[in-house]
Structure formats: C-alpha cells, structure tokens
Amino acid sequence: MNVILLGPPGAGKGTQARILVEGRAMVQLSTGDMLREARSSGTDMGRKVADVMDKGHLVTDGIVIGLIREKLISGTAPGGYIFDGFPRTLAQADALGTLMDEVGQSLDRVIEMQVDDAALVARITGRSTCAGCGEVYHDVTRPVPADGKCSNCGGTTFTRRTDDNADSLKTRLLAYYKQTSPLIGYYYAKGLLRGVDGLGEIADVAKEIGAILD
Ligand code: AP5
C-alpha cells in the first residue's frame, strides 16, 4: 500500500505516519522533515529554503519533487510508502504520478484528515518534538512523559519548530487552502480519496486509517 496523508498543518499527518511505520513497516516520506534536515545540516538548499519555511510559504515544486524522486529511486519499502506533506500542489501531484510509474509502483489511497481550524491552532502551538528521534508530543493531548524522557528513544531534549507561531500558521493555512486543497478533488476524481475525522483521539484516528488500509 502506498498512501498519501493529506491535511492542513497540525491535522496529525506526522503523528499517524509514525504509527503506520511502527505497525506496518511502512516507510514515511515527509518533505517537511527532509527540508528541516537540509536546514540543520547547513546545505545550500537548506539555507535557501529556511526563510521560506519560517514564513510559512511553500518551497518550490522543483526542490521537493527532487527530494521525493531521490528517495523513490534509491529506496525500497516492502510495506509501502506514506507520503506525509507531499504532494502539496497540483504540479507535485502530477509529478508523483509520473515518478510512481517510473519506479513501477502505484498510489493506492489518499487519506484526507479533516480537522477544523480552531483545533489546528491549539495543536500547533502546543507541539514539541523529540530532538533525538522526531517523536511528536503535545503539551495537553500527548505530554512528554513525567520522567522527562522520550517514550520512543529516551531522549531528553524537546524542541519547538520555528514555524509554529501564529503568523506563520496563518500563512501555512492559506497555502493549504489555496494550493493544496484542490488535491482533494484531484484524487477524488481518480477514485483514491478517503476521509477520516482527524478530530478524534489519536488512537481512534489510527484505527480509522487502519480500516481504510485493510
Ligand atoms: P510540514 O513539516 O509538512 O508541516 P505541515 O504540513 O504544516 O504539517 P505539520 O507537521 O505542522 O502537522 P502534522 O499534520 O504533521 O501534525 P502533527 O502530527 O505534528 O511542512 C513544513 C514546511 O515545509 C511547510 O510550511 C513548507 O514551507 C515546507 N514544505 C514541506 N513539504 C512541502 C511541499 N511538499 N511543498 C512545498 N513546501 C513544503 O500533529 C500536530 C500536533 O497535534 C502534535 O503536537 C500532536 O501531538 C497533536 N495531535 C496529532 N493528532 C492529534 C489528535 N488526533 N488529537 C489531539 N492532538 C493531536
């Protein structure tokens, strides 16, 4: 199964992708994580995209398509790929279709995670991430364990993303509605779209996604 998790910032794409990786041996391809890695390792590309990301705008199609192309051509995923945060524009969606053909794979499902905007603000402003392994926490709904150690890797450093602030979130939401939400119709027309209620508890959302994949 190759699947796209589609939804606005804070919908829970990363959280659910990690659950799928653990439970189904799938491979998560998050363009957000790839871009953040490029930033922190100080590559030319990382420097170019840093400001764009901090302001909440989309990075150019060419850059993210290149990142995904590299992963698809060089990697394998017996349990399938989870595309998390990609595609985000119609051009990226077309490019993904072409790339999947090139590597002899197909896209099986596109899962739209539906969450209202008020919940997104609360989720984004409460998020923290383990610096060691990327496990995602939330001040209220999924707090860091009381011993201060990541439940996944035991790490003790937790970071907040520089784009998780009110201004950049506004821009990110606008980018979602203007540039990414047309993909809902695009994949509906291809018969691949399924929706889940992203407002439920993390475990309930995971169950709904699992049922779609089964
Ligand atoms: P990216 O990293 O993809 O960020 P995003 O799409 O804005 O999504 P988030 O990571 O913020 O949210 P999420 O849906 O993964 O939610 P999470 O599971 O963490 O992109 C960042 C930037 O990179 C973009 O703005 C752009 O500049 C650039 N970029 C990336 N890809 C690009 C592309 N393809 N094209 C162009 N530019 C690109 O959950 C959020 C919080 O909520 C967490 O604290 C979590 O614990 C909590 N939570 C999750 N689920 C639940 C639940 N069910 N109930 C309660 N709390 C929950």
Which amino acid, 55?
Answer: K
Residue nearest to atom 8 of ligand 1 (CA): 9
pLDDT at 127: 92
Cα 90 to ligand 1 centre (Å): 19
Note if the bond before 78 is cis, omega within 30 degrees.
no
pLDDT at 150: 96
Concatenate the DSSP letters of all residues of 41-80 into one string: TT-HHHHHHHHHHHHTPPPPHHHHHHHHHHHHHH---TT-
End-to-end CA distance of the chain: 9
Q: Is the CB of 85 under 6 A from ligand 1?
A: yes
pLDDT at 75: 83
Which of 134, 97, 119, 135 minimizes the C-alpha distance to 8?
119
DSSP-derived 3-state class of residue 195: strand
Residue with tokens 């595609």: 87
pLDDT at 76: 86
Q: Which ranges of the chain would DSSP assign to H, the alpha helix?
A: 13-24, 31-40, 44-55, 61-74, 90-102, 117-125, 166-175, 182-189, 202-213
pLDDT at 68: 97
Cα 11 to ligand 1 centre (Å): 7
pLDDT at 206: 97
Cβ pair 103, 201 in contact under 8 A = no
**Within the chain, which residues score under 50 in pLDDT?**
none
Substitution site in 127, 159, 179, 180 for ligand 1 pocket (most atoms within 8 Å of beta carbon): 127
pLDDT at 199: 94
Residue with tokens 């606005």: 8
Q: Is the CB of 134 under 6 A from ligand 1?
A: no
Residue 12 CA to residue 189 CA, distance in Å, equals 24
Cα 12 to ligand 1 centre (Å): 7
- Active site members: 13, 88, 127, 161, 172
pLDDT at 138: 94
Which of 124, 87, 88, 129 minimizes the C-alpha distance to 10?
124
Residue 123 CA to residue 9 CA, distance in Å, equals 9
pLDDT at 78: 87
If residue 81 lies in a helix (H) or strand (E), which one and from where to where? strand 81-84
